[in-house]
Every structure is written in C-alpha cells, then in structure tokens.
Amino acid sequence: MPPDTSRIPEPIILNQPLPDSFMEKTLLLPEQRVREIMDSLSAVSVDDSAIPGPHYILPQWAMFLVVLLLLGIFYLAHVYLPQKKEREEAERKDEEVATKLMLNRSRYERWLSVHNPYFASLPPGLQQIFLHRTLRFMQDKEFRFHHLPYDEFIMVLISGSAVQLTLGLKNYLMEFFKMIHVIKTEYTLKLDNETYYGHVSKTGIYISWDHFVKGYADYGDGSNVGLHEMAHAVSFDIFLGEIDRHDIAFHSRLEEFMEEGRPVFRGLRKKEHPVLEQHAAVNIDEFWAVCVETFFENPEEFQRNLPDLYLTIVLLLNQDPLKPSKIVNSELAGYEC
C-alpha cells in the first residue's frame, strides 16, 4: 500500500471480557455511592457572594481620575510639548529667513533669476514663495564644502534646485537629510571606484559643483545633476524618513508613478523612448531621477512623446512646467498663489 493511502482501521475486538470486579467498581456504581459523591461535591461548593472583591487603595471613581491624569501627562510630554516646541522652532526660523530677505532680497533674487531658468519663468508671487522656501531649506541643512571655500551663492542655488522640485508640495524640507556635501568637481567612491557627479546616501546629498553649474547653464538638454540628485533625495526622504512628517498622499502617488512608469522603463531597455536619457534604463530609481530632469528641462517633448507619464508627474509633483501659473492645486502646495 502506498504510504499516503488512507486506511480506515477495523474496530478493535477485545479477546477477553473485562473482569467483573472492574465493572462493579468503575462503571456500575450503586445508587447509594452516587448519592454520597453528590453530597460530598455540594459540601465543597462555595458561596460566591462570600468571596471578597478586589481591594483598591482609592475608590473606583478616584482610580479612574488617576488613569485619566496619567494619560494627560503622557499626551503632554510626548505629543503636545514636542509639537509646540517644533512649531516655535519653525516660527523662529521663519523670522530669521524674513530678516535675511529684508536685508538681501534683491541679491538672492538676482542669483536665482540669472542661474535658475525655472525661477525666472515663475509669476512674481510664486517667485517670493520660492525665495522664502530656498532660504528656509538652506537654513535647515549643514553645507560641507570639499576643495571649495564656503560660499552662500552655492548654497542658495543648490537649495533652489530642491525647492524647484518640491514647489508644488506642502513638505519641502526633506528632513531625512541634514547635510549637503558640495565637491568641487567629479569624484570617485571607494565603494566601486566609479566616477560620480553626485549621489545620495544616508549620510547626505553629494553634488559636484562644476556639474551642477553645467546642468543649469545648458537648461533644455535634459541633463541636470542638481534636479537629478534632488529627485533621489525626495524619494529617499519619502521612503526612509519619518512617515508622519510627510505628505502621505505624495508617498502613495510616488508609488503609483513607480508602477505606471514600469512599461516605459521596460521599453527604455529596448531603446523605445529616445526622449529620456539612456541612463534611465539602469534601474527604476534612475528612471525616476531622469524623468524629473526631462520633465523640467524638456517638458514639451516629454509631453508629446509620453503624455500619460508626463501627466502622472504633473499630478505627483503638483506642478506643470508648461503652464505659466505652474502650480496645479494650491491647497496641496500649502499656500495661496
């Protein structure tokens, strides 16, 4: 019989009858014996009402108040006070930015107008929001210069590229990243000995300044290392940052983009979409970063060749470079424009 065949066992037939003495003692208890057993059981049963209830130090209503008080203290210490401190800190930073703008607004405006064509194309009201956000972003990060002297001009332009990408979003500070490294030119990493113009890791955002400048100087060629690295940074921030601090809707829209972009991404590997640089075929993260570069630098061609994907990015970033007003939904952006 094969090992997995079911077999119903036959009933066991005892060869020998049970001894009489066993039957008497276990199965056929005499009536008198049953009564004795029942009496003994009722004798040991306990009157529930006689058991004393739990003893509290305080009356129950007072215990309820104590629990309520402890919950209140917990909320105060872990939710209300940290949020209040955060709000006060944000207000203080906003005031600092306002003072800086009061003193040097025209200088910052000139830097961005000359070196960031997207800023130059914005309506005046949106330029002021862009400017405020740029200084606020800059203030939030520690800049480290490698083979370069400290330079506020560099800090403003690099912060501007982050703000350009997130202009339509309420949360724009990319709080996961505290540090931005600016390296004079291309560099190699010990990890793979490859040459880099920029990269993003848990330790910060790294950008080659020479290549950043070239990216904006030749705006329109679809290649922009500043926007490319900020696109990596924003997805790192969304997927690795503290979720409650982020726009949850943006998180799901970014996941949708990754899904909807996959057919185009696969087509890229067969060289079907010349509008996107071939670097986009490396992996889905590079695909996202290259899409962002093309979206800002070459929106007409992007929309003409890949209208669905273009629209997905418009909705994802809540801005459309082809429209003079740029922002799609001001409520989603967190300001009136």
Q: Return the residue nearest Zn ion (CB atom).
A: 289
Q: Which is nearer to Zn ion, 99 or 278 (CB)?
A: 278
Least separation in angstroms between residue 190's CB and Zn ion is 19
- 167 in contact with Zn ion (CB under 5 A): no
Answer for which of 97, 264, 289, 327 binds Zn ion (CB under 5 A) is 289
Single out the residue of 185, 280, 291 nearest to residue 230, CA to CA. Answer: 291
What track of x and - describes contact with Zn ion for positions 248 through 287 (by CB under 5 A)? Answer: --------------------------------------x-
Least separation in angstroms between residue 144's CB and Zn ion is 20
Q: Which is nearer to Zn ion, 156 or 182 (CB)?
A: 182
Give me the helices (H) in the chain, please: 20-22, 31-44, 60-75, 81-115, 117-121, 124-140, 152-166, 209-217, 225-240, 248-269, 284-297, 299-305, 307-317, 330-333
Q: Which is nearer to Zn ion, 196 or 209 (CB)?
A: 196
Least separation in angstroms between residue 163's CB and Zn ion is 20
Structure tokens given for 276:
């996107």
What track of x and - describes contact with Zn ion for positions 224 through 253 (by CB under 5 A)? Answer: ------------------------------
Least separation in angstroms between residue 286's CB and Zn ion is 5
Q: Which is nearer to Zn ion, 135 or 280 (CB)?
A: 280
> Judging by beta carbons within 10 Å of its beta carbon (0-12, 13-18, 19+), is residue 326 exposed, middle or buried?
buried
Residue 327 DSSP label: B
Residues lying near Zn ion in the complex (CB under 5 A) are found at: 286, 289
